[in-house]
Structure 1
Amino acid sequence: MASHRRALVTGASAGIGEAFARELARRGYDLVLTARRADRLEALAKDLRERHAVEAIVAPLDLARTDGPEALVAALEAQGLAIDVLVNNAGYGVPGYFEEQPWATHAAFIQVLMTAPTELAWRLLPAMKARGYGRILNIASLAGHIPGSAGHTLYAASKAYLIKFSQSLALECAGTGVHATAVCPGFTYSEFHDVTGSRELVSKMPGFMWMDAPAVARQGLDAADAGKAVYVTGRVNRAIKSLFKLIPDTLALKMVQRQGRRFRTGPRGG
C-alpha cells in the first residue's frame, strides 16, 4: 500500500481513467484528478474520500490547451503537491477520413494524446528521480502494435508513439526507482465508443474480445510496479499482438483493411 504518495490521473472522469483512480485509491494513493467535466470529477473525488480515506483533489482542465500541462504542474507545485505516479490516460478518437476533418481538430487531438502526456512526463520526471521513486503510465493501445486502420487516421499513430516513448523513457530511468510503462488495452468497456459514435458497430465484436476497465487498471499498475516498459492487457490481446508480429506487413495491412470495413463510421464507412 502507498504511504503519503500521490498520483495524477488525466481523463479521470470516466472509463479507464476512472478505473485507475479507483484502483490507486484502493492501494492507498492520494489523488489529483483532472479532466474537462468538473461535476464528474467532484463526484468521483467525494466517493474515493469516503471509501478509502484518501485525499482526492479535483483539477478540471482541457488538455487541448497548449498551456494546460505547464499550468497544471505549476498549480501543483504552488500547493506543495508532489506527484509520484502519473497516469497519462486522457484521450479520444476522431472518426472519419483524415482530410474530412479541419486541421484544428487534428491539432487538438495531437495535443491531448501526444504532446500533453509527453510534457507532463517531462515536467514531473526530475522530481521523481530526485525522490528515488516514480511511475509514469502512458495509456496506449493494442492499436499501437498493429497496422493503422482507415477512418481513425491518427489514433494508432498516437498510440504507437506512446509505446516507443515509454520504451525509451524506461531505459533512461533504469536504476533510478522510476518506471515508465506503456499500458496497451484492447477493446475495453467504457464511454470511448459512445463518444466516437461506434458503439453499435463495435458491439458486434465477440464477448471474449472485451475487458473491463478495472481489470485494465489493476494489470497496468502491477506491470508498472514490476518495471515492464510495455504491457498488453489480457491474453487475447497479447495473442493478437504476437500474431501480427509473425505475419508479413502486407498481409497484416490487408487483414486490418478487411476487418476495418466492418466497424468504420462516417460517410465512407461500409
Structure 2
Amino acid sequence: MRRLVLITGATSGIGLAFARVYASHGWDVVVTGRRQERLEKLVEEIRLRFGVEAHFIAADLAEAGTPQKLVDFVTALGRKVDGLVNNAGYGLPEGFVGNDFAAHETFMRVLMQAPTELAHLVLPGMIEQKFGRIINVASLASYLPASPGDTLYAPAKAYLTRFSQGLHLEARDHNVHVSALCPGYTYSEFHDVTGSRRIISQNTPEWMWMGADEVAREGYQAAEANRAICVPGAPNKFLSAVLKILPDDWSLELISNQLRRMMR
C-alpha cells in the first residue's frame, strides 16, 4: 500500500504545491483547509494527474479539536498518517495593539498549537512502524527579529523551527524524519491576504522571490534526506547565515531601515 501524507493549508501556495510534489512521488494525499471548493478541485486534479488516492476535509485549525478531527478522518479511511506537512498559516497585520487578543489567540492556535498537537497525535504511530515524515513550514523570518505590524509572526515561526530541531533529534533513531522548511519571499496569496503585496513587491528585488513549487520540492528533498532545517534558495541560505552572526542590535536596525523605506 502507498504511503499517505496529510497536508494542512493546502488550498493555495506552498501547501498546494506540497500536495502535487508528494503525489508525484507516489504518495496518497489528504488535504485540508477552509475553502472546500478549492480542495475539491485539487483532489480531482491529483487523482487524474498522478493516479494516486486523494481526499479532502474542510476544517479550520483555529477551532479546538480540529487536529484530532483530521487524524480521525484518516483513520476512518482505514489508513494512518505516514507523512505530515504542517503548512497552514497566515499573517496578522495592524500591530500587536491593533488586534484584539482573541485574534492573537487564534493566530497562535493555528501557527503553533495545531502543528504541535498534530505532530503529537501522529508521531507515536510513525515510531511504531519505523517510518514517518514531518515537515513544519516555518520561515526565513524565524532568523529575524520580530517586525512591528506583524509582531507574532517571526516568533511563531522561530518556535516551529526550534520545535522541529528538537523533534528531529528525538525521532531520528526511529526512521522518522523531521524538518523545518524556512522559505523567504514566495509567490503565493500570503501578501495579498495581508494587503502588503504592492509594498513588498516594490521594495523586494525579483531575485529574492521563489515559486511555491520550487520551495515544496526542496522541502520534500530535505525531509527525505532527514535535514533538520531547509532554507530553500541560494539568496535565502546566504541571508540566514549572515543573520545568525549579526548582533541583535544590528538586525533590529536593518529591519527598522527596511520598514522606513517601504513606508516611503
Aligned residue in 1 for 2:234 = 235
User: C-alpha deviations, 1:30-62, integer Å up to 9, x for none?
Assistant: 000100000000001000100000100011101
Residues 227-256 of structure 1 show CA distances to partners (whole Å, capped at 9, x for unaligned) of: 111111111001111111222111111111
Q: Secondary structure at the match of 2:58?
A: coil
- Deviation at residue 72 of structure 1 after TM alignment: 1.6
Please tell me whether the aligned partners of residues 71 and 81 of structure 2 are also in contact (alpha carbons under 8 angstroms).
no
1:261: Cα distance to partner? 3.0
Q: 2-side partners of 1:28 and 1:244: how far apart?
A: 37
Match of 1:148 in 2: 146
Residues 82-118 of structure 1: CA deviation (Å, up to 9, x unaligned): 1111000000000111011011111110010000000
CA–CA distance in structure 2, aligned partners of residues 243 and 130 of structure 1: 40
Partner AA of 1:191 in structure 2: E
Cα deviation digits, residues 124-151 of structure 1 (max 9, x gap): 0000111111010000000001111111
**Residue in 2 that maps onto 1:220:** 219
Provide the residue aligned with 1:259 in structure 2: 258
Equivalent in the alignment of 1:28: 26
* AA of the residue aligned to 2:161: I
Q: Which residue matches 2:35?
A: 37
Which deviates more, 30-39 or 62-71? 62-71
Work out the CA distance in 2 between the residues paired with 1:39 and 1:210. 28
* Alignment partners' CA distance in 2, 1:64 and 1:172: 27
Alignment of 1:47-62 (within 5 A): 47-62=45-60
2-structure distance, mates of 1:113, 1:27 = 27
Aligned to 1:11: 9
> Is the Cα–Cα contact under 8 Å of residues 201 and 262 in structure 1 kept in the other structure?
no
TM-score, with length taken from structure 1:
0.95
Q: Compute the RMSD of aligned alpha carbons.
A: 1.0
Q: Distance in 2 between matches of 1:191 and 1:155?
A: 16
Task: Tell me the CA shift for residue 262 of structure 1.
Answer: 3.5
Query: Whole-Å Cα distance in 1 between the matches of residues 67 and 32 of structure 2?
Result: 11
Query: 2:92 maps to what in 1?
Result: 94
Q: Distance in 1 between matches of 2:27 and 2:77?
A: 17
Which 4+ runs in 1 deviate beyond 2 A? 260-263
Structure-1 separation of matches of 2:113 and 2:259 = 27
Distance in 2 (CA, whole Å) between partners of 1:132 and 1:219 is: 24
Name structure 2 gaps, 5 residues minimum. none
Residue identity (%): 49
Aligned residue for 2:172, secondary structure, equals: coil
Structure 1 distance, partners of 2:80, 2:66, is 18
- Match for 1:105 among 96, 103, 110? 103
Mapped partners of 2:151, 2:138: distance in 1: 15
Out of 112, 115, 140, which is 1:114 matched to? 112
- Where in structure 1 are there 5+ consecutive unaligned residues? 264-268
SS of structure 1 residue aligned to 2:114: helix
- Number of aligned residues: 263
